[in-house]
Amino acid sequence: MNIRLFSSILFMVAFSLLLQTPVQAQETKINWLTLEEAQELHKKNPRKIFVDIYTDWCGWCKRMDAETFTNPVIIDYINTHFYAVKLNAEQKEPITFKGVKYENERADQRRGAHNFAIAILQGRMSYPSVAFFDENLSLIYALPGYRDAAKMEPVLVFFNEEVYKTNPNLNEFTANFQGRVGE
């Protein structure tokens, strides 16, 4: 076979493969919202809210962003079942939640926590933390600490499927959980 013909065929096959749409297109990232955006969406279609509480200086927060929140299973689960909120615990902008305005009264201080983050974490400031709100916008639970994707998946299921109502032991649920991460 002529080398030019072979090269042309190879090029056309490679090019046509690039143009094909993937059979199973997945979201490539979590649809992060502000708390205000999540509340607006919630008015039209109530669902639970997942809040990632972080700070700009937190190394474990950055690792969770890079590893946990890029896992396709975690992305799909959060985007399907929650309104996802990214909350900088030290942000300077005020937040209005359920008609109450929260401010960062310590915005001029180094590592000054926002009053909304303080309220969610009940003063136990630990980063990263995640919090879950129910369909009535009531705090279900705030959970401190870094979690990789395999450890985050059962936490998401535990709160989304309301397992906590019949079995409040998250550690027991996690130990027996068979998930999709790592399949």
Task: Give pLDDT tens digits along the chain (183 positions).
Answer: 555 544 444 444 444 444 443 434 455 899 999 999 999 999 999 999 999 999 999 999 999 999 999 999 999 999 999 999 999 999 999 999 999 999 998 877 778 899 999 999 999 999 999 999 999 999 999 999 999 999 999 999 999 999 999 999 999 999 999 999 976
**Integer Cα distance of 23 and 113 in angstroms:** 45
In order of their start, the domains of the chain are 27-175 (3.40.30.10)
- Burial class of residue 163, CB neighbours in 10 A (0-12, 13-18, 19+): middle
Six token digits for residue 100: 């109450």
Helix (H, G, I), strand (E, B) or coil at 116: helix
What does the alpha-carbon distance between residue 161 and residue 163 come to, in Å, rounded to a whole number?
A: 6
